Every structure is written in structure tokens, then in C-alpha cells.
Amino acid sequence: MRRLVWPLAVVAAFLAGWALAGVARTPPPSRDAARETEHLRQQVTTLQARLHARDEVAAGQGSPGPAVSRGPRAATQVEAGVTAAVREERLVRELRSRAGATAENGATRTAPSGPPPTVETALDRFYRYLEATRGGEGRERWQRARELVDELRGMGDVAGKALMQVLAAGNDSDERRAAARLLGSLQIPQSLPLLKDIIEKDDDILLRRAAASGLRQLQTPESIPIMEHILLNSADDRFVRLSAAYGLAEAGRPLGVNGLAQIFNESAVDGRGREMAFRSLASLNDARPVPFMRAVIASDAEPSFRLRAIQYVTAQGDRQSLPTLQVLMQSPTEQASIRDAAAQAYRTLGGK
């Protein structure tokens, strides 16, 4: 870890000197020069925050567990990005459910005492969060990551500024992806233009996916037409379109439900996104996906999807599924697990 810290320290010092020297040499800086100076200043700030967080982790102060070596990144980059997204999605849902429970109980959250948060403080929390989520599974790391997201949420616009700074000025793709997802998780509406610009123009496909995930979670009226445009572009990346479809479905737009069903069907060949599309539809937990679930039950899709579709229509009390269920429970060519599930659902829905 120390070997990582010193090179970054040298880079931070170099950038700081360059930025300051540039300002000193140029009497009335032009607009471009001022923009470049600000960009360099942001890079220095983020590097310093990263160094501070990693140094504390290396010293055993920043996280509950020992520092974990990252090892070679090579071909595991895509899998690591998906894992990080899943972890953050799980974390966000848990935090939202806790916030909803607090609101139902009429409780109010007291702002922490002490000086007001700064961008530097928010950057420090962000890099500590990265170290916690990169260290693998474990209750202590999960608890620590949850606490850090809570802290960032409590900082409001300051946290948004810090994350947008990482996304706009950062050089590390992993960090930018995490910042994009967190901007959506924390629902920072000011980040919409930045996320949109990345989705439309950036060449880093993993970053575009993270930005699309962040855009989905913003849940603002202004994000709706952007997601519609993304979804209707069939040439776009499937996972970018999937995030747009899910966001539209969560916003109550039929186009989103239809888009998720389409992505599920088009993923039959290679399986990429199939599970995520199904899980997104199932998470809606209302009657809108029922026609899709009926079609899955009657199809030759994987048994796991058909079983979950049977459970879904049963939970929704969909009696229109009874004829299909009756055919399945009486079919000698169906797997026993499908026949048994269909028979149980048939009885539960009042079939005779």
C-alpha cells in the first residue's frame, strides 16, 4: 500500500506546483487557462483525499479490517465493475428502506454538530467508502460502507460537488464509476447534465453503464426524456438501455416495462442482462409485469425464470394465469418442479 501512496504523492505535488506556477506566470489568465487551472486544482484535491484515505487504511485507522492487496486487474475489470454496482445497489436499497421507516415513524434526523462539511471532507469519505467496498465481503466492511454513504447523504450539496468533481476531473475509471453511481444513489439532481454527457459521448463503456445507473436513480422529471431517448436507441449498449428501461418503469412509464421485457427476450442468445432484466421487472411488485410473467411461464425459458414467474403471478392473484397453469400441471413432458409449482399456484388462485 505504501508503494501506491508515494507515487501518488509525487503526482499530487507535481500537479499542485504546475497549477500554481501556471497561475503565477499568467497575469490575466484567459478563460481556457482559468478552466485548465481549476481542473488541475480539482485533480490535486482528489489526489490528496485519495492519499489521505489510503494512508489511514494502511495504518489501520481508516477501516475496521486490514488493508487488502488489489492484485492484478487484467480481465476481471468487467466483473469487478458489475460486483461494485450490485453492492452499491443493495446498499442504496437498504438505506432507502431505513429512510422510509424513519419517515413513517415520524422521526427526524438531527444534523451532526461541528463545523459545516467541506468538499475536502466529502472527498475523504468517498475514498474511505471506496476502500471499504474494494476490500471484499464482510459484515464490518458492509457496515462501514453504509455509514459512509449515510455521512455523504447528510452532507447534501457538498457531497454532490465532491462526487461531480471526481467524475469530471478524475483519472481513475473505477473511482469515476463509483462516483457516477453514488450521484444517483444520493439523488443529486445537479449531476444530470454531467451524467447525460458521459452517456452520450464517453468511450468507456463501463463508465457509461455506471452513468446510466446513476441517471436512473435520480428520479427527476428532467431525466425521463433522456432515458426514453436512450432506450429507443437499439444500437446502444444493452446494459445502458436496461438502466434507462428500469428507470422509466420505476417512474410509471409503460415504455419502461416493455423495454425490460424486450431486453429479457433479446438476451436469450447470450444471456447478457437476462437476469437483471427479469429481476428489475420482478422488483416492480405490481400488476404491470403480469402479462410478461404469463408469457415466461408458457415459454421454453430457463426453469428458474419460469418458477419465479409462477410465484409472481400467484403473489399478484392473477386468475388469468389459471388456464396456463392447468396445462403445465397436467403435462407429462414438463419437469416435476414446474408441474408441482403450477399445481400449487393453481390451487392458491382458486382453480378447481
pLDDT tens-digit series, residues 309-329: 999 999 999 999 999 999 999
Provide the percentage of residues in the chain whose pLDDT is more than 70: 66
In the prediction, which pLDDT does 111 show?
46
Cell triple for residue 257?
416495462
Least confident of 289-293, 340-344, 348-352: 348-352
Q: What 3-state DSSP class applies to 351?
A: coil
In the prediction, which pLDDT does 93 show?
55
DSSP state of 267: T
Confidence band of 92 (pLDDT split at 50, 70, 90): low
Tracing cell 468538499 back to the chain, one arrives at 119
Confidence band of 262 (pLDDT split at 50, 70, 90): very high
Question: Who has greater pLDDT, 139 or 47?
Answer: 139
Cell triple for residue 109?
434526523
Cell triple for residue 98?
431505513
- 294 within 8 A of 324, measured Cβ to Cβ: yes
- 345 within 8 A of 314, measured Cβ to Cβ: yes
The pTM of the full predicted model, rounded to 2 decimals, is 0.73
Q: How far is Cα 154 from Cα 112, in angstroms, rounded to an integer?
A: 8
In the prediction, which pLDDT does 37 show?
55
In the prediction, which pLDDT does 167 show?
93
Q: What is the mean pLDDT of the segment spanning 248-266? A: 96
Q: How far is Cα 4 from Cα 171, in angstroms, rounded to an integer?
A: 15
Question: Who has greater pLDDT, 96 or 217?
Answer: 217
Q: How far is Cα 144 from Cα 19, in angstroms, rounded to an integer?
A: 35
Crossing angle (nearest 10°) for helices 322-329 and 290-298: 20
